[in-house]
Amino acid sequence: MVTLLVTGSSGLIGSEVVDYFSRLGWQVHGVDNNMRAEFFGPGGDTRWNQHRLLATHKSFKHHELDIRDRASVGGLLETLKPSLIVHTAAQPSHDLAASRPFDDFDVNAVGTLNLLEATRRNAPGAVFVHMSTNKVYGDRPNTIRLKETQTRWDYEDPAYAGGIREDFPIDQSKHSLFGASKVAADVMVQEYGRYFGLKSCCLRGGCLTGPNHSGVELHGFLSYLVKCNVQGKAYKVYGYKGKQVRDNIHSVDVARFIHAFYENPRCGEVYNIGGGRGNSVSILEAFDRAATLSGKKMNFEYVDKNREGDHICYISDLTKMRTHYPGWDISKNLDAVFEEIYGKWKMGNGN
């Protein structure tokens, strides 16, 4: 039986990976200490997801472990010697990083280094997949020439018609402290691939989403937006007229790509993983979609100031992913994504 280790196993992507590989008959071990609840309060608590996974999959084992604990991380890798490590654990918020910079860097950068070195020493033949972020590009995407339509901002420069590619510059821009800590982790994962030959990749996610997201105001765009609509809460729009655009990829399509990479791995690769242009949506457009599903008009408040380092328009170019792994493509369109998230909140599941 093939062994998989997933960090952040109770989160959105981590839990989807647990579900996906458990159904394939793998022995899956998850690492999670529910630090999301500490970061975001009760709304960010993921224990419900941990309990769901344990009840659903007999082959799944949970480990209450902090990835900042270097000795414990090393001991776990020495015991398990997994064939695949999927690293999704992170502090994911721009705003929180500014108020807790040491926690942010220790989790995102040092925690990643702990896992990489433990893998090199104890499971050097393993495949290492790191969930990075498009925030490694900082606010440089905002320098792309844009056009304004009735409902969204979009790229006017034809060079970006298909979205942002992996060779887009990552330095000399404002990242937020969160983005900076994720850059450190991203580059380290690449380096362990290029320097030590570790089979590794960084997945620079756009908006990763799905019904298992414990969406909160500071993290989880679509999940939180739909939650506000269903519950009648006011959603705060920060700047850009509500026309800022994100491309959204369902967590199951992320898990499918990880499987494809495992079967044909590379060393130190980078992929912009998102929904592409087909799954892109602005906040205003998302309001309309949520209202159509629920029959409720969106309650929102506009704040005439954007978040630091926030992207005006971000769409992932999926060409490299599709070229390297032609058997993979988006399987969940934007309609399916909204319907699943709405169904989750309507039923009152999660937080």
Residue bearing the bigger pLDDT, 129 or 42: 129
pLDDT single digits (tens) 264-277: 999 999 999 999 99
pLDDT tens figures, 264-314? 999 999 999 999 999 999 999 999 999 999 999 999 999 999 887 789 999
DSSP assigned state of 128: E
For the chain, the 3-state helix, strand and coil shares in percent, each to the nearest 5, are 45, 20, 35
pLDDT tens-digit map of 198-218: 999 999 998 999 887 766 676
CB 11 within 8 A of CB 68: no
**pLDDT confidence bin for 43, thresholds 50/70/90:** confident
pLDDT (0 to 100) of residue 88? 97
77 CB contacts (<8 Å, ≥6 apart)? 5, 85, 115, 118, 119, 121, 122, 123
Question: Where is 235: in which H helix or E strand?
Answer: strand 235-238
Report DSSP letters for 306-332, one per residue.
Answer: PPTT--SEE-B--HHHHHH-TT----S
Contact 124, 82 (CB under 8 A): no
What is the token pair recorded at 157? 């420069």
Q: Which pLDDT belongs to residue 218?
A: 60
Question: What's the mean pLDDT in 12-37?
Answer: 94
Return the domain boundaries, the chain.
3-346
pLDDT in tens, 72-101: 999 999 999 999 999 999 988 877 889 999
pLDDT of 114 reads 98
CATH topology of domain 3-346: Rossmann fold (3.40.50)
| 35 contacts 107 by C-beta, under 8 angstroms | yes
pLDDT at 215: 67
Give the pLDDT confidence of 132-170 residue by residue, as tens digits. Answer: 999 999 999 999 999 999 999 999 999 999 999 999 999
Give the span between the Cα atoms of 308 and 204, in whole angstroms.
19
Q: What global pTM score does this model have?
A: 0.94
Does residue 177 register a pLDDT over 80? Answer: yes
**Residue 219: pLDDT band by 50, 70, 90 thresholds?**
low
pLDDT at 47: 92
Least confident of 259-263, 326-330, 347-351: 347-351
Concatenate the DSSP letters of all residues of 15-59 into one string: HHHHHHHHHTT-EEEEE---HHHHHH-GGG--HHHHHHHHHH-TT
Output the pLDDT for position 94. Answer: 74
pLDDT at 350 over 60: no
Average pLDDT score over residue span 19-39: 92
Asked if pLDDT for residue 44 goes beyond 80, the answer is no
Q: What is the pLDDT at residue 195?
A: 98
Residues 112-138: pLDDT tens digits?
A: 999 999 999 999 999 999 999 999 999
